[in-house]
């Protein structure tokens, strides 16, 4: 009985000082929080309702919004990105485009045409280190002499295979020089020459190939024949680069 009386006394005191009410309120609050958490957790009932309401408002708004201003801004951003990131790869991209572009109508190219393309390359890339400066009508570097020659190799009497080299030389800069190894069969009706693809530069890095190397690779991989319309030629090439005038 003493224990029961003690319990009653404690409960009576806690009721009087509000402790019981406080504990009940705390537990009730926890119960409500847990119930709400369960409703909102994952895809609970309340979450689903809210999700449907958000979709109903946001999707029509997004679909009807005018993004033209942002597209204009995006275009500007993309241009800047391309300028910064693709500039160093410009050479690689240009070379790749040249190699991947094939004109089905072109079956052959004249050696004189290759000579003209090479002259342009020399004009833009030849070293000016040891060139004289002319002060006649305008300040300019002296022209450089370039030439090409078809050199046929000796053919065995028993062979139907003809081999030759087309040698391109620049008198002022050996780095401009190159040659094309070509061959043809005596028994074929087509007397044009074929580039020996085994002698063409291996594809190691598109980034570092120059225009002439890319041209040769493109001709070789597309089986473009070489038409010998001239066996040799020589001319002077005017340079693109202009020196600074020095009259001292």
Write out pLDDT tens, residues 148-172.
999 999 888 898 899 999 999 999 9
Residue 141: pLDDT band by 50, 70, 90 thresholds? confident
CA dihedral 40, 43, 48, 53 (to 10 degrees): 80
What value does the mean pLDDT take over residues 7-35? 65
Give the other-Cβ count within 10 Å of 148's Cβ.
23
**Higher-confidence residue: 198 or 45?**
198
Whether the model pTM is above 0.75: no
| Of the candidates 200, 198, 192, 201, the residue with the CA atom closest to the CA atom of residue 224 | 192
| Of the candidates 17, 21, 19, the residue with the CA atom closest to the CA atom of residue 29 | 21
Q: Residue 231: what pLDDT?
A: 94
| Of the candidates 173, 167, 219, the residue with the CA atom closest to the CA atom of residue 197 | 219
Q: How far apart are CA 183 and CA 159, in angstroms?
A: 12
Q: How far apart are CA 228 and CA 162, in angstroms?
A: 14
Strand 178-185 and strand 144-152: pairing?
unpaired
Residue 211: pLDDT band by 50, 70, 90 thresholds? confident
Give the other-Cβ count within 10 Å of 122's Cβ.
21
| Of the candidates 183, 192, 185, 184, the residue with the CA atom closest to the CA atom of residue 107 | 192
Highest mean pLDDT among 1-5, 109-113, 188-192 belongs to 109-113
**Mean pLDDT lowest for which of 77-91, 143-157, 175-189, 223-237?**
77-91
Which residues sit opposite 227 in a β-bridge? 110
**Higher-confidence residue: 191 or 103?**
191
> What are the angstrom distances between the C-alpha of 243 and each of 128, 139, 176?
9, 7, 20
Residue 57: pLDDT band by 50, 70, 90 thresholds? low
Residue 38: pLDDT band by 50, 70, 90 thresholds? low
CA dihedral 29, 35, 40, 43 (to 10 degrees): 170
Give the other-Cβ count within 10 Å of 21's Cβ.
11
Mean pLDDT rounded to a whole number for the chain: 77
């Amino acid at each position: 009985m003493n224990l029961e009386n003690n319990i009653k006394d404690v409960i009576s005191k806690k009721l009087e000082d509000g402790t019981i009410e406080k504990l009940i309120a705390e537990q009730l609050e926890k119960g409500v929080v847990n119930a709400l958490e369960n409703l909102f957790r994952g895809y609970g009932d309340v979450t689903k309702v809210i999700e449907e309401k958000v979709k109903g408002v946001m999707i029509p708004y997004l679909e009807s919004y005018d993004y033209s201003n942002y597209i204009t801004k995006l275009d500007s951003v993309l241009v800047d990105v391309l300028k910064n990131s693709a500039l160093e790869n410009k050479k690689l991209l240009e070379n790749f485009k040249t190699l991947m572009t094939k004109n089905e109508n072109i079956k052959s190219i004249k050696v004189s045409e290759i000579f003209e393309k090479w002259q342009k390359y020399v004009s833009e890339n030849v070293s000016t280190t040891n060139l004289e400066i002319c002060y006649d009508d305008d300040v300019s570097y002296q022209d450089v002499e370039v030439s090409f020659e078809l050199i046929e190799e000796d053919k065995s009497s028993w062979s139907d295979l003809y081999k030759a080299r087309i040698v391109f030389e620049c008198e002022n800069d050996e780095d401009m020089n190159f040659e094309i190894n070509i061959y043809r069969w005596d028994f074929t009706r087509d007397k044009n020459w074929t580039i020996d693809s085994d002698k063409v530069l291996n594809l190691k890095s598109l980034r570092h190939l120059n225009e002439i190397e890319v041209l040769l690779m493109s001709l070789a991989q597309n089986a473009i024949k070489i038409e010998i319309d001239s066996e040799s030629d020589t001319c002077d090439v005017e340079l693109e680069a202009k020196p600074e005038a020095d009259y001292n």
